[in-house]
Amino acid sequence: MNSSSAAVLEEFPDIIFAYGYSDEYSFVFKKTSRFYQRRASKILSLVASFFAAVYVAKWKEFFPQKKLEYAPSFTSKVVSCASVEVLQAYLAWRQLDCHANNQYDTCFWMLVKSGKSISEAQEVLKDTQKQQKNELLFQNFGINYKTLPELFRQGSCLFKKKVDETVKHDENGNPVKRLRRKAVFVHSENISGINFWNEQPSLYNDLGHFTKDIGKIEPDFIRLFQFENKLLPLTWAVVRIDGCHFHRFSDVHEFEKPNDEQALKLMNSCAVAVLKEFENIHFAYGVSDEYSFVLKKESELYKRQSSKIISAVTSFFTSTYVLQWGEFFPHKELKYPPSFDGRAVCYPTYNILLDYLAWRQVDCHINNQYNTCFWMLVKSGKTKTQSQDYLKGTQTREKNELLSRQFGIEYNSLPQIFRMGSSVFRLKEAVAVENGVVSGKKLEGEVALDHCNIIERCFWEEHPHILNY
Ligand code: GTP
Ligand code: MG
């Protein structure tokens, strides 16, 4: 977790401070950040996505003997702190949680290890205060809670500090040192205390000074921290994820232009995994570096809390992408962890939802036809600018003629996966198992992948069960 958060700090320079324990991490952006125009869904999804990607990529470093059994996911949310006092209260709240949880868990697991059942251990700890737990640990197990590792009791902070670093050695072998800003981990007892905070220039310069220590955290503040935006009830919610800077990612990994079949298959495999993981998602459509996931109208996934839905889907997709990379590219190293951003839009009627999906497939057609022509022209010796000029203002028919005349390519005979994009949906069980009508398209389990025309209504009329309409 700490190593992944260090990578996040490196990736997003606007993050000034991070605090984490157990399976959570908070990242504090500077007040003046213009990162993605401060759009909450972009920021929360990107951070969760990148974190998940790094987590999977680094797994082996920390567990060389353990296989990562499945793709982890992380939920995230943006908490806006209107003043430095609110930020201070937020940090105090998280660290109090760390203290309380760790003390409880330490007692609980000592009791279980000593032979108590789970319910007996819970009963012993019910309504106990901090002091009582400390006494229990000391008297029953000889453990002085205060001497347990700070990493467990206090969690970890990460921020940039000026440190003296040896950059080289001079001709006499003496170290030459320079003052550098470097991210360091600190396990401070009280991260919301003025003693800790006001001694770190990188913290008070970008985030502000703390004026006094706080005792009790205002309940209003806690309510604010727990506030969640919800998706409109009884509407179709579509979570669309899109690869971040995939132009570069595709270049670095030498994807074939304009379409890399393996890359598309990897995207599709991740989408299939998403449908298997989230049973509220009934349909997905993907093209290039994007995928749209349709949640059924009645979905109560995460009580319709939009941040949780967006981040869970995006981070799960990303960690699956990293986990499965080797299966699709056995001879290509993943050079750096990819990330995806996500957003959710609600569609109130069935027809508008189908319009949305048709729009994505129209986009697939237009882009794919353009890109096919463009890269054929480039491969035939034209420069990129010449190819762009050549294609400017051309219509579908002209592009098809160009491909056919100059390159002997019948556009409509190109692989469907390129022309149509990919649709993922659950098969109607009876149909798939009993009469094998769609057996050619059947995948393991009940999730199917197809490259069908979703613009025409006939697909939807033939598969009314998909959107349950
Ligand atoms: P942002 O999404 O704004 O971060 O930028 P982006 O670079 O990801 O571009 P965008 O999402 O608009 O477009 C996706 C890009 O991914 C394309 O422009 C291609 O450069 C690249 N890409 C997607 N699929 C393929 C592929 O199969 N082959 C190759 N060579 N590139 C691909
Ligand atoms: Mg993209």
- pLDDT per residue as tens digits for the range 340-383: 999 999 999 999 999 999 999 999 999 999 999 999 999 999 99
Q: Provide mean pLDDT across the span 403-415.
A: 95
* Highest mean predicted confidence (pLDDT) among 164-168, 174-178, 214-218, 327-331: 327-331
pTM for this model (two decimals): 0.93
Say if residue 443's pLDDT is above 60.
no
Q: What is the atom index within ligand 1 of the atom nearest the CA of 250?
A: 31
The answer to whether the CB of 341 is under 6 A from ligand 1 is no
Taking the centre of ligand 2 as the mean of its atom positions, its distance from the CA of residue 245, in whole angstroms, is 5
Which residue is closest in CA terms to ligand 1's atom 23?
288
Q: What is the atom index within ligand 1 of the atom nearest the CA of 290?
A: 11
Say if residue 252's pLDDT is above 90.
yes
- pLDDT score of 437: 56
Q: Provide mean pLDDT across the span 242-260.
A: 97
Taking the centre of ligand 1 as the mean of its atom positions, its distance from the CA of residue 406, in whole angstroms, is 26
- pLDDT score of 178: 86
Say if residue 210's pLDDT is above 90.
yes
Instruction: Band the pLDDT of 458: cuts 50, 70, 90.
Output: very high
The residue with greater pLDDT, 460 or 445, is: 460
Q: Provide mean pLDDT across the span 433-442.
A: 52
The answer to whether the CB of 244 is under 6 A from ligand 1 is yes
- pLDDT score of 49: 98
- pLDDT score of 127: 95
- pLDDT score of 320: 98
Instruction: Band the pLDDT of 435: cuts 50, 70, 90.
Output: low
Residues 273-299 pLDDT 10s: 999 999 999 999 999 999 999 999 999
Q: Provide mean pLDDT across the span 155-166.
A: 90
pLDDT more than 90, % of the chain? 90
Say if residue 445's pLDDT is above 60.
no
Instruction: Band the pLDDT of 161: cuts 50, 70, 90.
Output: confident
Instruction: Band the pLDDT of 164: cuts 50, 70, 90.
Output: confident
- SS3 per residue for the chain: CHHHHHHHHHHCCCEEEEEEECCEEEEEECCCCCHHHHCHHHHHHHHHHHHHHHHHHHHHHHCCCCCCCCCCCCCCCCCCCCCHHHHHHHHHHHHHHHHHHHHHHHHHHHHHHCCCCHHHHHHHHCCCCHHHHHHHHHHHHCCCHHHCCHHHHHCEEEEEEEEEEEEEECCCCCEEEEEEEEEEEECCCCCCCHHHHCCCHHHHHHHCCCCCCCCCCCHHHHHHHHCCCECCCCCEEEEEEEECCHHHHHHHCCCCCCCCHHHHHHHHHHHHHHHHHCCCEEEEEEECCEEEEEECCCCCHHHHEHHHHHHHHHHHHHHHHHHHHHHHCCCCCCCCCCCEEEEEEEECCHHHHHHHHHHHHHHHHHHHHHHHHHHHHHHCCCCHHHHHHHHCCCCHHHHHHHHHHHHCCCHHHCCHHHHHCEEEEECCHHHHHHHCCCHHHCCCCCEEEECCCCCCHHHHHHCCCCCCC
- pLDDT score of 433: 47
Taking the centre of ligand 1 as the mean of its atom positions, its distance from the CA of residue 276, in whole angstroms, is 26
Q: Provide mean pLDDT across the span 111-117.
A: 97
Residues 306-353 pLDDT 10s: 999 999 999 999 999 999 999 999 999 999 999 999 999 999 999 999
Task: Give the ligand whose atoms come closest to the C-alpha of residue 286.
Answer: 1
Of the ranges 76-85, 86-95, 109-118, 155-164, which one carries the lowest mean pLDDT score?
155-164
Instruction: Band the pLDDT of 441: cuts 50, 70, 90.
Output: very low
- pLDDT score of 226: 95
Taking the centre of ligand 2 as the mean of its atom positions, its distance from the CA of residue 247, in whole angstroms, is 7
Q: Provide mean pLDDT across the span 26-30.
A: 97
